[in-house]
Chain A
Amino acid sequence: MGPRRVSLFVTCLVDLLYPEVGEATVALLRDLDVEVDFPPSQTCCGQPAFNSGFEGDARRVAAGLLDAMEQAEAVVSPSGSCTAMVRSYYPHLFHGTADESRARALSAKTFELSEFVVGELGVESLGGAWEGRVTYHDSCHGLRELGLSGQGRSLLRGIERLELVEMAWPDRCCGFGGTFSLRLPDVASAMADEKMAQADATGADVMVTGDSGCLMHLAGRANRSGSKARPMHLAMLLAEARGLAPVKPAR
């Protein structure tokens, strides 16, 4: 049945910009009788510096997460990318340091939300109802580092009246890429346009994704380009379908 007590790693983006995604995550987990704790000393996984090649700075910030999650039984995060950072890259980042074993321990007990619900709790459907057409964007790190893709879709399929439709290339990067979107903004925007065009081609009302980074980038671009499909975090849609949280659009 999986752990009944988890610590939430909310991620810096959700904490600062999209707290409602954190609230939805908490509501969903509590609804599944999982006790949720928020270790308040957490800030960020360190990925912005890590992906830019500044490992020392990344380690300084990441060490804070090791401290914060030290006592956690399991860690759940509403982000495929931040989970992948912890799971796939922390062992490397802390390799040969005094924190290596703590990093490995955190790597082993950290889960992305849909991965935790479906894989650890064994719940493939949360039920609920939501009227509309939805398409699912596989965020890159969730898909390729964590091997996710069926979990989010399974949870969406469990929602009544929700029609799940696939884009031509659901597994193609949206162009966020962390600091990439600041280094090469025009290329990143062009990538977002292609993604949104594919979402619009499905006639979807909403494009769901499990990462706030993709969401921030896609919603920010959609505001300018006037796409029809509204980018939305998976946790928000699931919570709304269950009637657990008042949901506001991401843009």
Chain B
Amino acid sequence: MTPEAEVYRRFEDRAAKQLRKTQLPLILGKATDSREVRRRETFAGFDLPALRDAAEAVRAHTMANLDTYLDRFAERAEAKGTKVFFAATGPEAVDYIRKVVADRGARLVAKGKSMAAEEIELNPALEADGVQVVETDLGEHIVQVGHEPPSHITAPAVHMTRRDIAQLLAGHYGRTLPPEPEALTAFARGVLREAFLRAEVGISGVNFAVAETGSLSLVTNEGNGRMVTSLPPVHVAIMGMERIVPSFRELELLYPMLVASAIGRAVSTYLSLINGPRLPGEIDGPDELHVVVLDNGRSRILGGEFRSILHCIRCGACQNVCPVYRQVGGHAYGAVYAGPVGAVLTPLLVGFEKAGDLPHASSLCGACTEVCPVKIPLHEHLLGLRREVAKAQRPTGEVLMFRTWAMAWRKPGRFLLFARLSRLGQRLFARRGRIRKAPFPLSRWTKGRDMSPVAGRTFRERWRRGLRKGGA
């Protein structure tokens, strides 16, 4: 995990730290671009706008009837012997899982990938109880060994090269490892196999819970999800309360939308469907299955303007195309959810005091909105959140600045006066038609870029001087 002190500093500071890693944009660029290229290729030949409309409609319908579907899911799951626990907060969810683990006397937990578990900081809590938690998704395992949080929703170690990874694993396990993906995977498989076999509890996330049948679905490419949910005698699945679909009919649409958007393939290597604990006569599966349904602020979001952020199916496509994310990586966001979706979700989950600057970590280019498979208007949410943050925080400097700006620019006479004063003022700074160093706040501009000075004659002055009549 990121040290506590680092979690909620300003985005700009964290981004600066990431920008010093000169190789990072190259690493991120290569990984995210190839995913985006494959995403486009995979959807080519399909009527993507129609698919997105349909997927959006499913998510909107599900959220509008969430209480019904959650009740149905719980009822049907419990009928098959699954225990369903509704956790209002992160700590409630953590305590429930700690108790399940303690009741088994478990010392080792094998864990599959779960953003919800990251969100409630489950691993540190279990570790404080003396339980060893082994992340079994390869990417998650790598960042766990490196004591880092995941930096991408579907590619946790996307910020690292295979050389970094080989070095990290070699150091941790006291081996020499070549920086070859095959060798690294083979080594990890050996380590993880042991964890699967020895763990008393397996913890997984959930991609979609199916209300009609009380089933869980899990999308993985490494097969670790299937191991975690079937080998240990106890399986605990944790899901955000929005991670639900009415029936298999909707899963049939959302599953390929998720996979194609996440990795640019038509299908994932594994799709696990879990219907409950092992029944008498069945040969495998856990004795106990617990599903923790996490609210942790989601009900509040559901009731507000930004509710459609709960439509997110965690594909990470918005991160792949975000030009800000691609420069600074997930760790700059200082939160579990990075990139555009994180910049919307995090302030809503943890509050504006802690994360009110995240909605500004975007150029509002709209690339995120364009790729979102469920049509969340991400950049419009970022804009809306900026408005809410400005309302809630009333930052004095900015309030004054924009008030003054509006006073000056709402009248053409004042606007022209502004131009003339700027022309006078810039004499101190402009050299050969460029300003290389300007006073605050424009020093923020000239930090990395030359500034264009106000022209000797503005357009409106040129218009008056004859352009109006057809001259130039």
Question: Which residues on A are within 8 Å of B, measured CB to CB?
Answer: 10, 12, 14-20, 22-23, 26-27, 30, 38, 40-44, 48-58, 60-61, 63-64, 140-141, 144-145, 169, 171-173, 175-178, 180-192, 194, 216-217, 219-221, 223-224, 245, 250-251
B449 touches A23 (CB 8 A): no
- Give the interface SS of chain A, mostly helix, strand, loop or mixed: helix
Question: Which residues on B are within 8 Å of A, measured CB to CB?
Answer: 11-12, 15-16, 19, 25, 29, 33, 321, 323-324, 326-328, 360-367, 369-370, 383, 385-391, 398-399, 402-403, 405-407, 409-412, 415, 419, 422, 434, 441-442, 444-445, 447-455, 457-464, 467-468, 470, 472
B324 touches A191 (CB 8 A): yes
B448 touches A224 (CB 8 A): yes
A224 touches B369 (CB 8 A): no
B370 touches A144 (CB 8 A): yes
B363 touches A223 (CB 8 A): no
B365 touches A185 (CB 8 A): no
CA distance A177 to B324 in the complex (A): 11
CA distance A172 to B454 in the complex (A): 28
A220 touches B449 (CB 8 A): yes
A44 touches B409 (CB 8 A): yes
Return 21 A-B CB contacts under 8 Å, by A number: A19-B459, A27-B472, A40-B412, A44-B415, A49-B402, A49-B405, A53-B383, A54-B390, A54-B399, A57-B406, A64-B410, A172-B365, A177-B362, A180-B360, A184-B11, A185-B444, A185-B447, A186-B16, A187-B328, A192-B448, A220-B451
B449 touches A217 (CB 8 A): yes
**In the complex, what residues of A have CB within 8 A of residue B15's CB?**
184, 186-187
Q: How far is the CB of B273 from chain A (nearest CB, A)?
A: 37
In the complex, the chain A residue whose C-beta lies closest to that of B449 is A220
B459 touches A53 (CB 8 A): no
B453 touches A17 (CB 8 A): yes
**In the complex, what residues of B have CB within 8 A of residue A176's CB?**
363
**In the complex, what residues of A have CB within 8 A of residue B419's CB?**
15-16
Q: Report which of A17, A41, A63, A190 forms a contact with B25, defined as CB distance below 8 A.
A: A190
CA distance A48 to B365 in the complex (A): 14
A53 touches B390 (CB 8 A): yes
Q: Report which of B323, B360, B412 forms a contact with A41, defined as CB distance below 8 A.
A: B412
**In the complex, what residues of A have CB within 8 A of residue B367's CB?**
140, 144, 171-173
* Residue of B361, B403, B455 most packed against chain A (CB within 10 A): B455
B323 touches A178 (CB 8 A): no
Q: How far is the CB of A78 from chain B (nearest CB, A)?
A: 10
Q: How far is the CB of B366 from chain A (nearest CB, A)?
A: 4
A18 touches B409 (CB 8 A): no
* Residue of A12, A22, A26, A186 most packed against chain B (CB within 10 A): A186
**In the complex, what residues of B have CB within 8 A of residue A144's CB?**
365-367, 369-370
B460 touches A180 (CB 8 A): no
